[in-house]
């Protein structure tokens, strides 16, 4: 029969003095106080592991850990043993979990998520996402363990972005931030997503956020364009006019190689790999886009060919001819015309869509296909673009003639 041990008292623990050699004061159930020659009083628990081997647990030092607290830890450890769990291994697992929590900061997990996702994005998309995180999120809570990031932390960072007027960036940043937390949840690094509900408190983004003039302002815009042409280089001047006549996306124009243009046939076909929807990693739209050139647009391209036709690109960069012109060249041209903040490259598309439908009576479907928008029924995409080709050619000529008819002398 095991020897019965008289429980310790607070007085006995407090009064224990150091000796030349370390000694123990037992409390029962394997718990004892070890008093070292230096006078330290350390709580220990001696127990047998599930495999029968003897082991020890360290509960801390007195008086930081009181007699009552040491007994609570002993009882908890013996409860684990009774359930078939080694308390030492459980303690190590908890310590490892705490270490992982402290090391798995938001920035570390966000970069890990970014690395996992990067193959599904276009290079520019991947670069933009990481840049926004580095600029707007990491400085605010990047060093905080992801399990400890609060809603207030995320909202504070997003409000700064909104304060710059970048409402669309704020929306996308919140969405990407939420995806990082969802990734952390799947990896069992946190149990909650503090960014999940922030969409309800973001400042609403105005529809039609790309600056664009209205149809009534077009005559005045044309006059400003032609009177300011002396301040533009010839390629920029032609690029501005082509943006107005063909209203493709800015990148689709300035990155165009001469190989896409057939001046003899008067055709410009953009391969699907250069189109916005064609660049998608998942289910890209593999439909080439027929720009449909008016007589006026074709004349501009022939004029441009005399300037840059010896190279690869329609609009080469002056310093690096193998690279395209910067879209900033067009924005600067608009600024010199007095339209800074009122018109953008994308604004030419919005202007054409509204004017063609409202002033020239063109059907929405025809305009939409010329803009290379996807039809709601995606299965009809390739069929519709071919189906409306003749109507689109007629529309583009009508549009160019309309522009000529409203010019102010």
Q: Hey, which residues are catalytic here?
A: 249, 276, 346, 349, 373, 383
103 closest CA partner among 134, 147, 150, 152:
147
Q: At what angle do helices 389-405 and 234-246 cross, to 10 degrees?
A: 120
Write the CA distances from 314 to 212, 230, 256, 310, 324, integer angstroms: 25, 20, 6, 10, 8
Residue 202 DSSP one-character state: S
CA 111 to chain centre: 11
Residues with Cβ < 8 Å from 139, sequence gap 6 or more?
none
Distance CA 196, CA 159 (A): 16
343, 221 in Cβ contact below 8 A? yes
Cα gap 210→328, rounded to integer Å: 15
Separation CA 299–CA 316 (nearest Å): 19
Task: State both tokens at 266.
Answer: 């008067």
Closest by CA position to 116, among listed 187, 175, 172, 174: 187
Please answer whether residues 61 and 75 qualify as being in contact, where contact means their C-beta atoms are separated by less than 8 angstroms. no
Q: For residue 37, report the phi and psi dihedrals to the nearest 5 degrees.
A: -60, -25
Q: CA distances (Å), 49 to each of 158, 358, 408, in order?
A: 51, 83, 95
Within 13 Å and on the Cβ side, how many CA atoms surround 35? 15
Long-range contacts of 90-96 (CB under 8 A, 24+ apart): 91/57
Query: Which strands sit side by side in the sheet containing 31-35, from one edge to the other?
Result: 23-28, 31-35, 41-48, 54-62
Taking the C-alpha atoms of residue 218 and residue 220, their distance in angstroms, rounded to an integer, is 5
Sign of the alpha-carbon dihedral angle for 167, 168, 170, 174 = positive
């Amino acid at each position: 029969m095991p020897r019965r041990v008289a429980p310790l008292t607070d007085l006995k623990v407090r009064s224990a003095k150091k000796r030349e050699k370390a000694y123990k004061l037992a409390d029962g159930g394997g718990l004892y106080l070890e008093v070292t020659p230096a006078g330290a009083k350390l709580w220990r628990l001696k127990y047998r592991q599930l495999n029968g081997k003897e082991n020890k647990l360290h509960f801390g030092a007195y008086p930081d850990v009181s007699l009552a607290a040491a007994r609570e830890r002993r009882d908890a450890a013996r409860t684990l043993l009774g359930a078939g769990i080694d308390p030492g291994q459980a303690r190590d697992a908890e310590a490892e979990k705490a270490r992982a929590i402290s090391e798995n900061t938001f920035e570390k997990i966000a970069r890990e998520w970014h690395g996992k996702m990067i193959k599904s994005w276009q290079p520019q998309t991947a670069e933009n996402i990481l840049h926004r995180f580095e600029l707007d999120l990491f400085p605010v809570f990047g060093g905080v363990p992801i399990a400890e990031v609060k809603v207030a932390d995320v909202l504070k960072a997003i409000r700064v972005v909104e304060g710059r007027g970048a409402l669309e960036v704020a929306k996308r940043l919140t969405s990407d931030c939420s995806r990082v937390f969802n990734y952390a949840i799947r990896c069992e690094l946190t149990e909650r997503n503090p960014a999940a509900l922030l969409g309800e408190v973001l400042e609403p983004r105005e529809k039609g956020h790309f600056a664009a003039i209205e149809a009534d302002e077009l005559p005045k815009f044309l006059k400003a364009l032609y009177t300011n042409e002396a301040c533009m280089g010839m390629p920029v001047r032609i690029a501005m006019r082509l943006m107005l006549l063909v209203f493709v996306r800015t990148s689709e124009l300035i990155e165009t190689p001469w190989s896409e243009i057939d001046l003899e046939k008067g055709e410009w076909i953009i391969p699907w790999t250069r189109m916005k929807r064609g660049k998608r990693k998942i289910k890209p739209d593999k439909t080439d886009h027929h720009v449909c050139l008016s007589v006026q647009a074709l004349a501009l391209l022939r004029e441009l060919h005399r300037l840059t036709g010896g190279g690869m690109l329609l609009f080469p960069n002056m310093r690096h001819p193998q690279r395209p012109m910067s879209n900033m060249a067009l924005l600067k041209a608009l600024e010199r015309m007095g339209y800074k903040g009122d018109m953008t490259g994308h604004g030419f598309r919005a202007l054409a869509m509204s004017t063609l439908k409202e002033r020239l009576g063109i059907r929405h479907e025809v305009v939409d296909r010329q803009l290379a928008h996807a039809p709601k029924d995606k299965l009809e995409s390739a069929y519709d673009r071919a189906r409306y080709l003749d109507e689109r050619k007629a529309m583009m000529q009508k549009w160019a003639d309309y522009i000529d008819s409203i010019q102010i002398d």
